[in-house]
Copies of this chain bind each other. A is one copy, B any other.
Amino acid sequence: MSDKFSFELKAVSGGAGRAARLGAVTTPRGVIRTPAFMPVGTAATVKAMFPEDVRAAGSDVLLCNTYHLMLRPGAERIASFGGLHQFMNWDGPILTDSGGFQVMSLSKLAKLSEKGVTFQSHIDGSAHELTPERSIEVQCLLGSDIQMQFDECTSYPCAHEAAQASMELSLRWAVRSKEAFEQYGGKGQALFGIVQGSVYPDLRARSIEGLVEMGFDGYSIGGLAVGEGQDVMFETLEKTAPFLPKDRPRYLMGVGTPLDILGAVERGVDMFDCVMPTRSGRHGQAFTWDGKVNLRNAAHGEDTRPLDANSSCPAARDYSRAYLHHLIKAGEYLAPMLLTQANVHFYQDFMAAIRAAIAEDRFAAFASDFRARYRG
C-alpha cells in the first residue's frame, strides 16, 4: 500500500515480557524514531512554538487535527496552498487524526449514523458531514504522511453491548476508510487502523482480528485515556498490545503523562501524542526530571535556579524560575513560549532516554529509576 512507508523493530527490552520496543518508522518525509512523542499542532501550529524549535526539541513528527483544519482554513484551501507541510512550514512527517473524536467532543448537534456524523462547526455554526470517505479525503487534501481511519471512540464507562456495537461500527468504517485511502492516498502515505473495544479484552481481540485481516500500515489504540485511570489503561494495554502485529507501529492515542508513556512503552507501545506538554506550558506548569513544577506558585518568585541547569534546552537552562514566575504574573507571551518549549524539549529528552535505555537493554532499570525520582 505504501511504497516508502515502513517500520523496523530494532531492539526490545524491559522486564519479564521484554515488551518495550525500539524502532524506526520510515516515511517519505523522514524517519520517526520510536518510541516517539508527537507534539500536537491542532490548527497547523504547535501552540506558542516556532516550528524550528519543535524540531530542535527533538520532535520527528507532529500531530494535526483534521476536524479543526477542515473547518478553518478548510482542507481544499490548504491543498491549494500545496498542503499542510508547506502551509505550516514543517517539512517533517505529519500524522492526522480522523476528526471523529473532536466532532463528538467539540462540535454542536453531532448526529451519528451508519454513514458517518453530521455536525455544526463550533466556530461558526456551519453544517458539515464527516464520513469515512470524507475524513480520508480531507486527510489526503491536507497531505499528511500518516492518516487515521474514521472511527468512533467510546467514552468511559461504556457497557459491553454499547462498546461492541461501537467497535463493530468502527470496523465497518475501517473497511470504507481503507477503500477511500486506496482511492485518494498518495505514494508513501500510510493509513492506520484504530483498535476499539473499550476496556473489554474480547472486544479488543475482535477489533484487532478484523483490522489485521484488512491489513493496515500501523495500528492505533483508541478509546483509552478517556477517564478510565492509569491502572485500567495499563490492564487494557496488556490485553491489547501483545496481539498486535509485531512488524507494524503501535500508536496509543492521546497519551499522556510521562508515567503513562513509560508504562505504555513497557507494554509495547511505539507512538504517543498528547496536548499535555503544550497545554501545561500555557498554564504555568513545567515538566522536569524531578516532576511537575507549578511556576504560578509564589515560592518561585525568589528562586534563581533554572528549571534544569543541565538541559540542552535554552528555555529550561537560561532563565530563572523567578523570571518565569514574573512573566506568568505579568501575563507576558514569553511565559507560554518558554514553558512550552521547555516542556516539549523535556518530553523529547524523555523519549530519547527511553530509546537509549531500550537500545542498551536496561529499560527496566531506567523505568525504576525514573519512577523513584519523578513526582507525577
Residues of A that sit less than 8 Å from B by CB: 43-45, 47-50, 52, 72-73, 77, 81-82, 87-89, 301-302, 304, 314, 318-320, 322-323, 326-327, 329-330, 332-334, 336-338
Contact = CB atoms under 8 A, between A and B. Distances in A.
A302 B82 CA distance: 12
A318 B89 contact: yes
Nearest to A47: B333
A247 B35 CA distance: 63
Instruction: Give the oligomeric copy count.
Output: 2
B48 A319 contact: no
Contact of A326 (B72, B318, B338): B72
Given A44-B323, A45-B327, A47-B333, 17 more contacts: A43-B326, A43-B327, A43-B332, A44-B326, A45-B330, A45-B332, A48-B337, A49-B334, A72-B330, A73-B326, A77-B322, A81-B322, A81-B323, A87-B320, A333-B333, A333-B337, A337-B337
A320 B322 CA distance: 37
Given A319-B89, A320-B87, A47 B332 contact: yes
Contact of A73 (B43, B301, B318, B337): B301
Contact of A48 (B49, B302, B323, B333): B333
Given A323-B44, A330-B43, A314 B52 contact: yes
A323 B332 CA distance: 24
Contacts of A319: 89
Nearest to A326: B73
B323 A88 contact: yes
Contacts of A338: 50
Contacts of A304: 81-82
A322 B52 contact: no
A50 B336 contact: no
Contacts of A45: 327, 330, 332-334
16 contacts: A44-B323, A45-B327, A47-B332, A48-B334, A50-B314, A50-B337, A50-B338, A52-B314, A72-B326, A73-B326, A73-B329, A77-B302, A81-B320, A81-B323, A333-B336, A333-B337
A45 B319 CA distance: 12
Contacts of A44: 323, 326
A332 B336 CA distance: 12
A25 B77 CA distance: 50
Contacts of A332: 43, 45, 47
A336 B43 CA distance: 15
Nearest to A303: B81
Nearest to A322: B81
A318 B55 CA distance: 15
